[in-house]
Amino acid sequence: MPDIQTILDQMTLEEKAALITGATVWTTVPVERLGVPAMMMTDGPHGVRRSSDVNAIGKGTLPATCFPTASCLASSWDTALLRQVGAALGEEAAALGVDVLLGPGANMKRDPRCGRNFEYFSEDPFLAGQLAASFIQGVQSQGVGTSLKHFAANNQETERFRIDAVVDERTLREIYLPAFETAVKEGKPWTVMCAYNKLNGVYCSENHRLLVEILKEEWGFDGLVVSDWGAVHDRVMSLQGGLDLEMPGPQTRRTQAVIEAIQSGALDEAVLNEAVRRILGIIFKAAETPKGRALSASRSKGGAFDAAAHHAFARQVAGEGIVLLKNNGLLPLQQPRRIAVIGRAAKEPHFQGGGSSHINPTMVDSPFDELRKLAGDAGLTYSAGYPATPALDPALIAEAVAAARAADVALLYCALPGFIESEGYDRADLSLTPPQVALIQAVCAAQPNSVVILNNGSALTMGEWLDGPAAVLEAWMMGQAGGGAIADVLFGKVNPSGKLAETFPLTLTDTPAYINFPGGAGQVRYGEGLFIGYRYYDATARPVAFPFGFGLSYTAFAYSNPRLSAETFNDVDGLTVSVDVTNTGHVAGQEVVQVYVHDWKSGLVRPPKELKGFAKIALQPGETKTVAIPLDFRAFAYYHPGYGQWITEDGEFDILIAASAADIRCTLAATLRSTLKLPCILNRESTVREWLADAAGRVAFDPMYRMIKSRTAAMFGGEESDGIGMDPTGFMMEMPLLSLLQFQEGGLPMPADAIVDLLLQRAHELAAQ
C-alpha cells in the first residue's frame, strides 16, 4: 500500500475537498496525478446490485445471486453459514468489480411494522451483532469491503429522512448500539454507513457524539464513515461531525462549501485531512486486493462467478432459515397421491423485498416446479387463490376450495405483497391481506390436511386462521432458490432447523412500541426503553403466538447434564456453560442451544432475561454432543448512565439453557464477584436511598442516618403514630438528602447544604481510596 501520509501531503485543498464527496452515484473521485483510483460501491446486503451505469440508481443492474434476506439468514442462528454467505457475496462483488458492498443492516427490529425489517437480523442485539460480524468477515475475506448500516436508531421507514429518534442513553447503549459495536470490533468493516434520521435532535450524518466519540474513539473504528445516499444536509457540519465520505456525487456546491470554510477559518483543515486519510486508506485497501488488480481496467464489463454453484448454495441457506411454526404430524409429506397447490406465490415467487436491495437474479426457482420435481407420481393442481391486488375474488377462492377437496393435501403459498411491505414505507398492520386470510380459512375448512407457506419479511399475526392448517412454514423472503428449499422441507429432504430471531405477537396492540410507533411531527419517542421484543413480553407476562428462538423440527432433542465452569466467578473471568444435547428422534437434525442470563438483583431495572450465547449443532438419531458456550463480562453487565460505562454488581445470576425464550430446559445458579472499582456519583440531588445504596456514601452518611430517621419520624408524630397516614421511613427514602435536611435545618449545627457538601467530600474521598 502506498504511504497515505505522503499522498495526503501532496494533495491540493481542492483535491481533498473533492475526494470526500462521490464522483458518481457509485464511485469516488480519482486523483490520477497521484495514482489514487476510483472506488466502486454498490447496494447489498443479500445480493450484489451492481448497476451497469455508475450514474444510475436502479436501472440496468447486472445479474447476481439473490440470497435469502436477513430475516431468513438470522433464523438459521448459524454464524458459520453467515460467513459462507458473506464469502459468496464477496466473490460475486469482486467478479463484478465492486470494492464495497453496502451491508449488512444491523438495526433492531423495534416494531414488526417497519417496512425494511426484511433487511435486518433480529430484535435482539446480541444475536444481530454475532451474525453481522460473521457476515462482514465472510465478505471481506474476498478482498471486498462492507458498509455496516444504518448507524443508528434507523428503525422505521415513516419520515426516515427527517425523523428524530429520541432514545435515552441506557436504551441506546443496551439495545440499539451493541450489534454495531460487536460488528465493528469483531467484524472490522471497512466502512460504516450513517442513517438518514436524527438521533436525539442531531442528524446522524452530523452527530459527533455518535460518529467520533463512540464509533471512532471508543470502539476504535479505523475505516471510513459514509453517508446513506442523500443523508447529508450540510457538508461542513457533517465533516465536523465525523462523516468522511458523502454519497452520491457529484456535489459541486458541497465541495466548494468545504473549500470556503477552510479558507475562512470556519473549518480546521485537520478535520478534512482526517477524512481524506481514512478514505485513502480504504481506496488503497480495495485497490491492492486481487479483485482490484484483476478488474481495475474492465470493471464496468462485469466478471465471472459460478452462478450454478451459488444458486445451489442459496437453496441450502434458505433451507437453514425456514422455520416450522406448526405441525400436527402432516409434515414431512408421506407420498400423497394428489396435491393441491394454491396461491399466486407458488408460481410467482416472492423471494426478495423492494427498494435498494432488489437484485437482478441469475435464475429463480418456481416453488410449483420444484414441488413437481420431488412429488414423484403425485398429481399436482394449481389454483391462484388470491388476486395480485387487495380486492377479494370469491371465484378464485371457490376454485381453490374445490381443488383442495379433491386432493390429499393442500399447500397454500401466501406472500405479503410489496405494496404492503417494502423499503420506503411501513406496514399498517401485521396481517396477511384479507383475500389471503379468507382463502386460508376456506381451504382449511374444506381440507384439514393443509399447509400454509408464508413469504414475508417480519412478524405476522395469525389468530384469524392459525387453528385451521395442519402445518405452517415461515419461509421468509427466501432468495432466488427458496422455491426449491421449501420443497426440500415439505418432503423431508431437509429437516427444518430455523428458529425465530423475532417474536410473533398475538395482536398488533400487544407489541412493545405500539403506542409510540411511528411517532409524529418529526419525532418518535422510544418510550418502551429497553423492553423491545421478548424483553417486553417477559416483563409483562404477555402471551405470544410464537416466542423468540422458537422453531419445530422433524425430530426431538433432550438436554441433560448442565454444568458451569464455576459456581462463583469474577466478572472478568466469565463463565462457560455446558450441556449435553441428544437427538431422541429417528432422523438427523440440528438444534440451536440458547443461553439467557437473569440477574436476581440490580441497581437499575433489567429485563427478566437476556440472550448472551447460542450454538447450533447437528446430530444424528441417538447421537449426543456436548455444547459449551462462553459468557464474558458483558453477559452480566448493564450500562449505567450515571457512571457512563458498563458495570457489574456482586450477586446471584440464573443461567438459563433454552430451546427458545419460552422453553427453558435447564437453570443453573452462579454468583458473580464484581472487580470494578466505581467512583462515587452521589451529588446534591441524591436521595437517602441512593446514599445508603452507595458503598462509600453509606459509610460517610451512616453516623447521621439514625438521627435523621428519628427526626423525620418525629416530624410526622412519631414512628408509632398514624401521623398523616404515611410511612415516615418510606417518605424519607425517596427525598434528596439535602431537601430532607432543609426541613430539619432549625435543629442542625450548620446549614443543610454545608452538611451535604461535607458528606459528599467524605464519600468521594472514600471511593477514591
Catalytic residues: 228
The torsion angles phi and psi of 613, rounded to 5 degrees, stand at -170, 155
d(CA 212, CA 623): 50
d(CA 479, CA 516): 33
Question: How far, CA to CA in Å, does 108 sit from each of 412, 462, 477, 522?
Answer: 30, 23, 18, 20
- Report residue 438 CA to chain centroid gap: 33
The closest of 211, 83, 202, 66 to 138, measured between CA atoms, is 83
3 state DSSP class of 472? strand
Residues 6+ apart with CB under 8 A from 684: 736, 738, 753, 756, 757, 760
Helices (H) and strands (E) in the chain, counts: 23, 25
Residues 6+ apart with CB under 8 A from 374: 487, 488, 490, 491, 493
Q: Where does 59-140 have alpha helices with state H? A: 70-75, 79-95, 125-140
Rg (CA), the chain: 29
C-alpha cell recorded at residue 653: 445470576
d(CA 117, CA 130): 18
C-alpha cell recorded at residue 442: 376456506
C-alpha cell recorded at residue 483: 422455491
User: Facing residues of 628 across strands?
Assistant: 578
- Strand order of the β-sheet with 557-564 is 557-564, 575-583, 624-631
d(CA 296, CA 304): 15
Helix or strand (DSSP H, E) at 738: helix 737-743
How many CB atoms are closer than 10 A to CB 624? 15
C-alpha cell recorded at residue 724: 398523616
d(CA 285, CA 108): 30
**DSSP at 331:** P
**DSSP at 211:** I
Residues 6+ apart with CB under 8 A from 746: none
CB-side exposure of 740: number of CA atoms within 13 Å?
29
User: Facing residues of 671 across strands?
Assistant: 568, 652
Helix or strand (DSSP H, E) at 295: helix 290-295
d(CA 144, CA 190): 9
| Residue 623 and residue 589 in contact, taking contact as beta carbons nearer than 8 Å | no
Residues 6+ apart with CB under 8 A from 357: 43, 44, 45, 46, 47, 49, 69, 103, 119, 423
Question: Given CA atoms 221, 227, 231, 233 in this order, what sign does their dihedral have?
Answer: positive
How many CB atoms are closer than 10 A to CB 765? 12
